[in-house]
Structure 1
Amino acid sequence: MKKLFITTVIGPISPGIIKSLAEVTRSFAGEWLTSKVIKVDGHFSAMMKVAIAPEAEAELKAKFESEFTALRFFFDDVVTAAETVSTALHLTLDCGDRAGLTRDIVDVLSNLDLVIEHMEFNRVHVSTIGQTVFSSTLNLAIPEGISTESVVELLEGVSEDARVSIL
């Protein structure tokens, strides 16, 4: 039976870095079951769910750290979540930007005990209207007993001009 763990890696982008990380993983007969990569201003962050023979785990982790010295690695065991009935909700939220807006959105989601599967926020200055516009994309798992309508209503309450669209 293979051991599962999460590897998080952060550092400067270099050509072929993701491919090199994958090749090292494969050299230990490991595989990435899932991965997410984010790139921002010459840096990247990646999370990979790794499956590997238990006896090769420590050696793979050590190889990552010794071969990729410009990167920072974090390792965590996979935590299996309790099975709960939930509904997937994919939505966008758009409004004028203001201080504390992101915090208020996260507070709404946290207070409802929603599972945030993906969350992306962007701010763009729109010169034709003379203000910064806030736009976010959210993928949520809504637990049984919480309606989609109540989530939308609470999110629209974070700003007077907030518009929520279900995708």
Structure 2
Amino acid sequence: MMTSLVLTLIGPDKPGLVGLLSQTIASHQGNWLESGMSRLAGKFAGILITEVPEDQADALIAALLDLESRGLKVTVERTVEPEPIESQVKFTLELVGHDKPGIVREISQALAKRHINVERLNTELVSGSMSAELLFKADADLSAGENVSLDELQDALEAIASDLMVDITLNS
């Protein structure tokens, strides 16, 4: 029987951290499934899911926690597969505009109010092509029950976009 583990990790960015992590997982017969990792403000940060034979799980967890002595702080959570959610509508959101505080807060509150789940969110600051001003860009994968009104959501997001002076696009 296999056990799934979700790992979060952070440490000073340096070459070899992914290799160290993958070797630790492999040495316990683990399988690296999904991950997202980035260099953020000089730190290496990531999240990943791995499967490991049940009889290796405790040893792998101990080995992962021991990586802190080598500069990589790892948090481990055992998972169980959630019950499948019926009749989900999946769609994406793209946003671009001049950077200012509150963009993520405003958009996420509008989504939460409508019981829309953020399954993936990527954000970045980029230099504007015509100016040196920073642009905030976001893209998200979203899901909601079939009864969600994408037209009503679009209207609500357009009102927020106008206030924040950003462009928001929903794609189903």
Smaller-chain TM-score bracket: 0.7 to 0.9
User: Which residue type is aligned with residue 159 of structure 1?
Assistant: A
Residue of structure 2 in register with 1:38 after alignment: 38
Distance, in Å, in 1 between the alignment partners of 2:50 and 2:28 is 11
Residue of structure 2 in register with 1:141 after alignment: 143
Matches within 5 A, 1:9-20: 9-20=9-20
RMSD between aligned residues: 2.2
Cα 1:38/1:105, change in 2 over 3 Å? same
User: Which residue type is aligned with residue 73 of structure 1?
Assistant: V
Report the alpha carbon displacement of residue 16 of structure 1 after superposing the two structures with TM.
2.0
- Segments of 5+ residues of structure 2 without an aligned counterpart are none
Distance, in Å, in 1 between the alignment partners of 2:50 and 2:132 is 47
- Segments of 5+ residues of structure 1 without an aligned counterpart are none
Matches within 5 A, 1:43-122: 43-69=43-69, 70-84=71-85, 85-122=87-124
Residue of structure 2 in register with 1:152 after alignment: 154
Cα 1:150/1:26, change in 2 over 3 Å? same
Distance, in Å, in 1 between the alignment partners of 2:128 and 2:33 is 40
Deviates more, 1:78-87 or 1:26-35: 78-87
Contact 2:98 2:135 in 1 (8 A): yes
Residue of structure 1 in register with 2:168 after alignment: 164
Cα 1:113/1:158, change in 2 over 3 Å? same
SS of 1:159 mapped into structure 2: helix
Report the alpha carbon displacement of residue 127 of structure 1 after superposing the two structures with TM.
8.8
Query: TM-score, normalization: structure 2?
Result: 0.83
Query: TM-score, normalization: structure 1?
Result: 0.86
